[in-house]
Structure 1
Amino acid sequence: MATVADGHLHHRNEGGGGKVVVVMVPLPAQGHLNQLLQLSRLIAAYDIPVHYASTAAHNHQARQRAHPLAAAANIHFDDLPLPEYQSPSPNPNSANKFPSHLQPLFDAVAHLRHPVAALLRSLSSTADRVVVIHDSLMSSVVQDAASIPDAESYTFHSISAFSIFLYFSEGLETPFPINEELQKLAIPSLEDCFSREFMEFIVSEQKYIDLDSGIIFNTCREIEGEFLNSIEKISGYKCKRNWALGPFNPISINGKEIDHNLHRHECLQWLNTKERNSVTLVSFGTTTSFPDDQIEELAIGLEESGVNFIWVVREADRGDCGGGGEKPVPEGFEERVRERGMVVRDWAPQLEILGHSATGGFVTHCGWNSCIESLSMGKPIGAWPMHSDQPRNAVLMTEVLRVGVVVRDWGKRNEVLRAPAIAVALRRLMASEEMRRKAEEVGEIVRRAAAEGGATRLEMDSFVTHITR
Structure 2
Amino acid sequence: MTGNRKTTPATELAVVMVPFVAQGHLTQLLHLARLIASYNIPIHFITTPGCIHQLQTRHQISADRTRIHFHEFPTPPFVSPPPDPSSHFPTHLQPLFDSSLHLRHPTTTFLLSLSLKVKKVVVIHDVLMSYAVQDVKTLTNAETFVFQPPPAFYQACGIWEKDGDGQFPFPVERELMEKLPSKDRVFSQEFRKLLEVQQSHMGFHVGELYDSSRVIEGEFIEYLEKSEIAGKKKIWAIGPLNPVQISYNGTESTSRHKCLQWLDNQPRNSVMYVSFGTTTTFCDEQIRELALGLERSGQRFIWVVRVADTSDSVGFEERKVELPDEFEERVKGRGLIERLWAPQLEILEHSATGGFMSHCGWNSSMESISMGVPMATWPMHSDQPRNTFFITDIIKIGIVVKNWESRNELVKANVVADAVKRLMASEEGAEMRRRAVKLGGEVKESVAEGGVRCREMDSFISYICS
What is the TM-score when the length of structure 2 is the normalising length? 0.93
Identical positions, percent = 48
Task: Measure how far apart 1:15 and its partner are.
Answer: 6.5
Asked if the contact 1:41–1:73 (Cα under 8 Å) also holds between the matched residues in 2, the reply is no
Asked if the contact 1:19–1:128 (Cα under 8 Å) also holds between the matched residues in 2, the reply is yes
Secondary structure at 1:24 match in 2? strand
1:50-449 alignment, distance < 5 Å = 50-66=43-59, 74-94=67-87, 97-172=88-163, 177-181=169-173, 183-185=175-177, 186-252=179-245, 261=251, 264-323=256-315, 325-431=319-425, 432-449=429-446
Query: What do the CA deviations read for 1:41-70 (whole angstroms, capped 9, x no partner)?
Result: 111111111111000111110222127798
Task: Measure how far apart 1:173 and its partner are.
Answer: 6.8
Pairing 1:461–2:458 present: yes
C-alpha separation in 2, matches of 1:299 and 1:113: 44
Bigger shift: 69-78 or 150-159? 69-78
Secondary structure at 2:201 match in 1? helix
C-alpha separation in 2, matches of 1:70 and 1:414: 44
Bigger shift: 453-462 or 222-231? 222-231
C-alpha separation in 2, matches of 1:260 and 1:190: 46
> For residue 282 of structure 1, what is the amino acid of its counterpart?
V
Match of 1:41 in 2: 34
Gaps of 5+ in 1: 1-7
Bigger shift: 34-43 or 231-240? 231-240
Task: Measure how far apart 1:258 and its partner are.
Answer: 6.1
> For residue 459 of structure 1, what is the amino acid of its counterpart?
E
C-alpha separation in 1, matches of 2:180 and 2:331: 38
Match of 1:3 in 2: none
> For residue 147 of structure 1, what is the amino acid of its counterpart?
T
Secondary structure at 2:325 match in 1? coil
C-alpha separation in 2, matches of 1:67 and 1:156: 23
Secondary structure at 2:278 match in 1? coil
C-alpha separation in 2, matches of 1:144 and 1:260: 47
> For residue 150 of structure 1, what is the amino acid of its counterpart?
N
C-alpha separation in 2, matches of 1:458 and 1:198: 36
Asked if the contact 1:406–1:425 (Cα under 8 Å) also holds between the matched residues in 2, the reply is yes
C-alpha separation in 2, matches of 1:69 and 1:452: 27
Match of 1:4 in 2: none
Asked if the contact 1:361–1:430 (Cα under 8 Å) also holds between the matched residues in 2, the reply is yes
> For residue 272 of structure 1, what is the amino acid of its counterpart?
D
> For residue 312 of structure 1, what is the amino acid of its counterpart?
V
Asked if the contact 2:101–2:131 (Cα under 8 Å) also holds between the matched residues in 1, the reply is yes
Asked if the contact 2:150–2:383 (Cα under 8 Å) also holds between the matched residues in 1, the reply is yes
Asked if the contact 1:21–1:49 (Cα under 8 Å) also holds between the matched residues in 2, the reply is yes
C-alpha separation in 2, matches of 1:149 and 1:17: 18
Pairing 1:11–2:11 present: no
Over the aligned positions, Cα root-mean-square deviation in angstroms equals 2.1
C-alpha separation in 2, matches of 1:362 and 1:249: 17
C-alpha separation in 1, matches of 2:164 and 2:392: 29
Asked if the contact 1:363–1:383 (Cα under 8 Å) also holds between the matched residues in 2, the reply is yes
Asked if the contact 1:364–1:384 (Cα under 8 Å) also holds between the matched residues in 2, the reply is yes
Asked if the contact 2:273–2:355 (Cα under 8 Å) also holds between the matched residues in 1, the reply is yes
Distance of aligned partners of 1:378 and 1:69 in 2 relative to their CA distance in 1, 3 Å threshold: farther
C-alpha separation in 2, matches of 1:16 and 1:75: 15
Task: Measure how far apart 1:454 and its partner are.
Answer: 0.4
Gaps of 5+ in 2: none
Query: What do the CA deviations read for 1:211-232 (whole angstroms, capped 9, x no partner)?
Result: 1010000000121111112122
Secondary structure at 2:200 match in 1? helix
